[in-house]
Amino acid sequence: MIIREWTEKDLATVAILEHACFEDPWTMDMIKGEFGRMDFCGSIAEEDGKPIGFLCGTLLFEDAEIAKVAVLKEYRGKGYGRQLVEEFFDKVKANGARRIFLEVRPSNEAALHLYQSNGFHKLRLRKRYYADGEDALEMMKDLYPDD
């Protein structure tokens, strides 16, 4: 598995991965909107040349954020989600980040486990954050916990 930068050529690929991985996938306009952000920072995971996952994030000065991370069902449980997240840590840290934020559904056990075992801790609950009424858990990882 390799992790590489998400470029403009990957927009259609990400749309396919979105539909395969999420019940409420981003539309192409939403994906383009994320990609077009000045603080966009995304990556694609490939196995034998086939895109199998992606991470969509942002980096603005000291604060980074993970908006989405996803791996195709048949490739889950092999450590690829963890590798995507760790690669993001390295990349944003090298570019000045000190903290990483994210929001996650408390019902998403796989994502919660992935984030907690990678050093994210709970900050607060955002009531009825998602369109379907579920709360969001806001989490943060301190990239310099000893400072």
Ligand X SMILES: CC(C)(COP(=O)(O)OP(=O)(O)OC[C@H]1O[C@@H](n2cnc3c(N)ncnc32)[C@H](O)[C@@H]1OP(=O)(O)O)[C@@H](O)C(=O)NCCC(=O)NCCS
Footprint of ligand X on this chain (CB under 6 A)? 21-22, 68-71, 76-82, 104, 108-111, 113-114, 117
Closest C-alpha to 75, from 47, 55, 56, 49: 47
As measured in angstroms, the least distance from the Cβ of 7 to ligand X is: 21
> Which residues face 60 on adjacent strands?
63
As measured in angstroms, the least distance from the Cβ of 147 to ligand X is: 26
For ligand X, the closer of residues 39 and 86 by Cβ is: 86
Residues whose CB falls within 8 Å of the CB of residue 33, separated by 6 or more in sequence, listed in order? none
Which spans in 22-127 are helix H?
28-35, 80-94, 109-116
For ligand X, the closer of residues 59 and 81 by Cβ is: 81
For ligand X, the closer of residues 96 and 123 by Cβ is: 123
Output the residue with the shortest Cβ distance to ligand X.
81
As measured in angstroms, the least distance from the Cβ of 1 to ligand X is: 10
As measured in angstroms, the least distance from the Cβ of 94 to ligand X is: 22
Which spans in 50-146 are helix H?
80-94, 109-116
For ligand X, the closer of residues 78 and 124 by Cβ is: 78
CA quadruple 114, 104, 44, 92: dihedral, nearest 10: -80
